[in-house]
Structure 1
Amino acid sequence: MDDRRRVVIVAYENAQILDVACPSGALDVANRYGAAPPYTIELSTPDGRTAGTSAGIGLGPGRRLAAVTGRLDTLVVVGGLGAETAAQDRQLLAQVRRLAGRSRRVASVCTGAYVLAAAGLLDHRRVTTHWGHGSRLAERHPAVAVDPAPLFIRDGNVYTSAGVTSALDLTLSLIEDDHGPTLARAVARELVTYLHRTADQAQISMFLAAPPPGERLVRDLTGYIAGHLADDLSPRALAERAGISTRHLTRLFTAHLGTTPARAVRAARAEAAAHLLRSSGLPVAAVARRCGLGSAETLRTTLLRHYGVAGDALRRMPDMPRARVPAQRQTPRHGRHNDT
């Protein structure tokens, strides 16, 4: 009897190539580092033919969905520009439902959640998807509890993940569940990932949630904050640096970052402190000083507020928990981002 962990990745026309590459690549590396039992990776498409991707590179040919039989360990449905069209394909949905019933666990990457939701596999579950599609998914499927903030969510045996590269975080988590943290970390190192991020870490970092390009003043100030965490970053100091009033500073931050200057500074300091604790051997007091938090006690209370754990506990954890960073107020093409 074959004891391999059989993983079937479902793609379709206009899929996102990274949604396939991240999980398949990570599982391949896990096999090369001694995963036992190893993974077998199969690509399946609705008709068994090559599926085009938005990058212009074809995937496949894969096995026809209807031809996939037997037990599966993991069923993965990818996302991409074609996800909403795929979610209207009744035959594809019927096959996804059938294969889900044969799988130990089911996962979606990014907008692949549209397909799982349309197949009825996400009803009454807490799920996530790409931050720009959370509202749209929730509107289409009111029985689904959509949380667009985390990188990935597990609800029972169903896993949903955020946009694109969060598929790597999800797959590393699956590898850790299957084979333990040592193998997962070895795979992460081989793939040159900065961190194996935990499920509930926010999709958008404080340092990536930049204001629109036209708002140069706010963009410059957020860059200054990130590079001068130990300096005086009070609203008054920031306003003086920008040559504006503190009231106008607050209006700008609220309009373009969805938070006040003081809260933005606290979130930036908390995130930087968390990363230093996870990636360096610096004493807690030194981390606190470097990040502008003053003392180990202030760092402790800050991390408790933002992460729910203290510094020493965070350092011992295999992954970072989710940071409650301020959300960027932006209206993407397919919905509003709300990761608060």
Structure 2
Amino acid sequence: MPRPAVAFFVYDGVTLLDVAGPAEVFKEANRLGADYRIVLLSPTGADVTSNLGVRIAVDRAVAGEPAFDTFLVPGSDRYPRGPVPADLADAVRAPAATAGRVASVCTGAFLLAAAGLLDGKRATTHWRAAHELAARCPTCRVEPDAIYVRDGTTYTSAGVTAGIDLALALVEEDHGPDLARDVARALVVYMQRAGGQSQFSAPLQGPPPRSATLRSVTDLVTANPRGEHSLGELAKHLNVSTRQLSRLFHDELSTTPARYVESIRFDLARALLDQGHTATQAATQAGFPSYESMRRVFARKLSISPAAYQRRFSTTRR
């Protein structure tokens, strides 16, 4: 049986981390039992220079290659600042048409769009570039707040490290959650960021749930922190008793459902404050019932108010 091939399409100006991050996930998966064949392709087969000036050695040209299991297109600082050259879009189109699945990292979505591969599909990119992607691909439904989006066999992911989240999701799709979780732990990254989770949110610290049952609940909360996540509603989602759900949280995460929801909302509120949102906006968007309830959580966790937190970190943010 042939080894599943993951082809990275690289070109001059490609963002190095968009290549290295996902590639490291597949390489680590190989160390832990997978068998991916990682290939680097460029439009002409020549080596390319990344956005950092680091030269990337290429295996061969993209043209004439057999179909790949996964064809991955990283982004570039050059797009969306300017149009994607026609020859670059053409180089993407043919291998993407025959690949088992096509994925982009960050602004790599602009190359997929230029090749007509996002027409009529849901997609995401870095939140700063989402409006421009929507303008260039008017038939595409751009979801600016998602970590990654899957539409059929087409996957798009948000900025920079979201490519790692996407690669972990692909590994999990191929080999199951246990191997993907082992890869995440080996790379000291988090596996809990569901595709629909806000780009601004920070994952809850701690080990991921062991069971798929509890993970479905934590994914639900992280994907929509503003939702109705009372103990009763979460138990209803799993069709279990409130007592059983509380026991799952205690045994696997050493916390309660209410504290977990609160922590997810706290992480999101803190990230929103880091992005420059007002404390009231952060409380609303993070799902807190009121500013006062958010303030109490900040006081308990950080011993400072949300406003004081924002002032303290304003210099480094700017």
Aligned 8 A contact 2:12 2:48 in 1 = yes
Tell me the equivalent position of 1:48: 45
Tell me the equivalent position of 1:76: 72
Tell me the equivalent position of 2:6: 7
C-alpha displacement of 1:117: 0.5
Aligned 8 A contact 1:126 1:146 in 2 = yes
Match of 1:149 among 145, 162, 177: 145
Residue 16 (structure 2) pairs with residue 20 (structure 1): no
> After alignment, is 106-115 or 320-329 more displaced?
320-329
Q: TM-score, normalised by structure 2?
A: 0.66
Partners of 1:47 and 1:300 in 2: how far apart?
52
RMSD: 3.6
Aligned 8 A contact 1:185 1:196 in 2 = no
Counterparts in 2 of 1:316-335, with a 5 A limit? 325=268
Counterparts in 2 of 1:157-168, with a 5 A limit? 157-168=153-164
Partners of 2:200 and 2:116 in 1: how far apart?
28
Partners of 2:57 and 2:192 in 1: how far apart?
29
Aligned 8 A contact 1:15 1:53 in 2 = yes
C-alpha displacement of 1:81: 1.1
C-alpha displacement of 1:90: 1.9
C-alpha displacement of 1:195: 3.8
Residue 130 (structure 2) pairs with residue 129 (structure 1): no
Q: Who wins on radius of gyration, i.e. which is larger?
A: 1
- The number of residue pairs the alignment matches comes to 242
Residue 56 (structure 2) pairs with residue 59 (structure 1): yes
Tell me the equivalent position of 1:301: 230
Partners of 2:130 and 2:30 in 1: how far apart?
34
Give secondary structure in 1 for the equivalent of 2:230.
Answer: helix
1:180-237 alpha-carbon deviations (Å, 9 max, x no partner): 11100111111011444211111112x7xxxxxxxxxxxxxxxxxxxxxxxxxxxxxx
> After alignment, is 177-186 or 80-89 more displaced?
80-89
Q: Counterpart amino acid of 2:157?
A: S
Runs of 5+ unmatched residues, structure 1:
208-270, 281-298, 332-338
1:73-119 alpha-carbon deviations (Å, 9 max, x no partner): 00000002133489532222222111012101000000000000010
State the identity as a percent: 37
Aligned 8 A contact 2:209 2:252 in 1 = no
Aligned 8 A contact 1:303 1:309 in 2 = no
Q: CA, structure 1 residues 201+96, in 2 after alignment: closer, same or farther (shift >3 Å)?
A: same
Partners of 2:238 and 2:114 in 1: how far apart?
37
Q: CA, structure 1 residues 9+172, in 2 after alignment: closer, same or farther (shift >3 Å)?
A: same
Aligned 8 A contact 2:32 2:179 in 1 = yes
Tell me the equivalent position of 1:118: 114
C-alpha displacement of 1:152: 0.2
Tell me the equivalent position of 1:287: none
C-alpha displacement of 1:54: 1.7
Tell me the equivalent position of 1:264: none
Give secondary structure in 1 for the equivalent of 2:28.
Answer: helix
1:23-60 alpha-carbon deviations (Å, 9 max, x no partner): 1111011111111xx11011111122221112221112
Q: CA, structure 1 residues 56+34, in 2 after alignment: closer, same or farther (shift >3 Å)?
A: same
